[in-house]
Amino acid sequence: MADKKRIYLCLAHMSEAGLEQKYIKEAFDTNWVVPLGPNVNGFEKDLEEFCGQNKRVVALSSGTAAVHLALINCGVKAGDEVCVQSFTFCASSHPITYLGATPIFIDSEKETWNMDPDLLEEAIKDRIAKTGKKPKAIVPVALYGMPYNVDRIMEIANRYDIPVIEDAAEGFGSRWKGQVLGTFGKYGVLSFNGNKMITTSGGGALVTNNEDEWREIMMYATQYRESYPYYQHEKIGFNYRMSNICAGIGRGQMTVVNQHIDHHKHVQAIYEELLAGVPGINVHSQPVCHTDGTDNTDRVPVFDSNYWLCTITLDPSLRIKGQENAYKTIVTGAVGGAAGVIHAASSAVTDCQPNDNVEALRVFMDAAGIEARPVWKPMHKQPVYKDAPAYVNGVSEAIFKVGMCLPAGPYVSDEDVRYIVDCIKQAIE
């Protein structure tokens, strides 16, 4: 029952056949408890088949590692600039700074909440004018699973001859005109964190175009060890390979990936139905448009989101119970549960935060046993990036003030969704 458990935003669900345990047991039985092995190879092949387009895949320790290696293979070095979506999690931009490069933040378009192609081109032109050189890469993000405008972004990138690194960490299984995200650009980034569409407990992957790139990425991911009977290193590499144990989980998860995607879409549809008549609440959904076809059976959705998380916006005028107490108490924990390292905040407020009614609803839902969170705070408003160039239109800041994420994972039942919606209704004064 929904009222007897805590409903989390998104938790992975094991396959009914328990194949994860089978592959893990094989790893222990054969003593393959290392960052390579049969499960890693098998998981990569499963991912390559899922992605299609004759892609090669390298399984890694995290999606962040995948972004890092993609940037390296794009030739990003200290002093370079990289255009990256501002409305995202920090893993999209932090690896740029690992390399001593500068993130150039690009704001969002209203419909998808993803990278605005017009601002992207404006930024490219302006950086060329200001620095005399073009950005070394472009990193669009599939925010909450929503596809970015692939056609426009790729057209701009190709015109300026800038490689695209697709951050599809949240968009595993989302599609643009029927093609899986992460397969359009030079590289695609996937994540299998514990809250993603499928999980390896922690892990990620880099999707690449050909054998030569795959081989180079593999070298970087394994400390760049040369083929000698001793350890010789001619470039700086990293310890980024996925373990055979984690890959065993991934192999089992790949047997249920389509079920997981279908479930997330099902939950989204229920939210849309049940919240349709609630004043002041709007469920964010994908634009409805199709590719040309001879008849309806041949038409393919342009946007096909996996709805990794379902999101809503609250009208600023909406009044929530307890709203008068919003931001009166300093939060002692960190967002992200056990993964959050705790720093005592110096203040209960910042210069850019969600509206009081969003915070009040978060607190109300938490008391009801429901995990709900604000949407990502735009990177160009993060203190750590206060000096980074940003090309903004106000969209991501506006959404951050009114947006909220609702539970959507495989453990979220129809009954849970009804309970969540009832709690939202009860919270409104």
Q: What 8-state DSSP symbol labels residue 86?
A: S
Residue 263 neighbours by CB distance under 10 Å:
21
Confidence bin at 2 (pLDDT 50/70/90) = very low
Of 103, 102, 43, 411, the closest CA to residue 241 belongs to 43
Percent of residues, the chain, with pLDDT higher than 90: 84
- Give the pLDDT of residue 12: 76
Distance from C-alpha of 205 to C-alpha of 228, rounded to nearest angstrom: 27
Model confidence at 340: pLDDT above 80: no
- What's the half-sphere exposure (Cβ side, CA atoms, 13 Å) at 46? 21
3-state secondary structure of 197: coil
Does the structural domain 19-253 have CATH classification 3.40.920.10? no
Tell me, letter by letter, the H, E, C secondary structure of 264-314. HHHHHHHHHHHCCCCCCEEECCCCCCECCCCCHHHCCECEECCCCCEEEEE
Range in 24-33, 56-65, 146-155, 227-236 with the lowest mean pLDDT: 24-33
Mean pLDDT of 180-201: 96
Distance from C-alpha of 380 to C-alpha of 396, rounded to nearest angstrom: 10
Confidence bin at 157 (pLDDT 50/70/90) = very high
**Bridge partners, residue 102, by sequence:** 81
Q: What 8-state DSSP symbol labels residue 2?
A: G
Residue 225: CB partners within 8 Å, gap ≥ 6?
219, 231, 232, 233, 237
Distance from C-alpha of 312 to C-alpha of 350, rounded to nearest angstrom: 22
- What's the half-sphere exposure (Cβ side, CA atoms, 13 Å) at 354? 26
Model confidence at 295: pLDDT above 60: no
Distance from C-alpha of 269 to C-alpha of 263, rounded to nearest angstrom: 10
The CATH number of the domain covering residues in 2-8+257-427: 3.90.1150.10
Distance from C-alpha of 213 to C-alpha of 56, rounded to nearest angstrom: 9
Percent of residues, the chain, with pLDDT higher than 70: 95
Model confidence at 315: pLDDT above 80: yes
Alpha-carbon dihedral 179, 168, 378, 349, rounded to 10 degrees:
130
User: DSSP H helical segments within 108-210, as ranges?
Assistant: 117-131, 150-160
Mean pLDDT of 101-113: 98
- pLDDT tens-place string over residues 412-423: 999 999 999 999
Model confidence at 297: pLDDT above 70: no
3-state secondary structure of 381: helix
Number of helical H runs and strand E runs in the chain: 12, 15
Model confidence at 409: pLDDT above 70: yes
- pLDDT tens-place string over residues 203-245: 999 999 999 999 999 999 999 999 999 999 999 999 999 999 9
Distance from C-alpha of 372 to C-alpha of 354, rounded to nearest angstrom: 13
What's the chain's average pLDDT? 94
3-state secondary structure of 239: strand
Residue 266: CB partners within 8 Å, gap ≥ 6?
none
Distance from C-alpha of 35 to C-alpha of 246, rounded to nearest angstrom: 9
User: DSSP H helical segments within 113-242, as ranges?
Assistant: 117-131, 150-160, 211-221
Confidence bin at 1 (pLDDT 50/70/90) = very low
Model confidence at 345: pLDDT above 50: yes
User: What token pair was written down for 365?
Assistant: 């839902």
Mean pLDDT of 311-334: 92
Model confidence at 62: pLDDT above 80: yes
Domain residue extents for the chain = 2-8+257-427, 19-253
Strand 204-208, strand 56-60: pairing: antiparallel
Model confidence at 16: pLDDT above 60: yes
User: DSSP H helical segments within 104-210, as ranges?
Assistant: 117-131, 150-160
Mean pLDDT of 371-376: 97
Mean pLDDT of 267-275: 98
- Between these two residues, 17 and 390, which has the higher pLDDT value? 390
- The per-residue b/e assignment along 315-335, b for 16 or more CB within 10 angstroms, e otherwise, is eeebebebbeebeeeeeeeee
Range in 5-19, 276-290, 311-325 with the lowest mean pLDDT: 5-19
Model confidence at 3: pLDDT above 80: no
Range in 15-29, 63-77, 321-335, 370-384 with the lowest mean pLDDT: 15-29
- Give the pLDDT of residue 4: 57
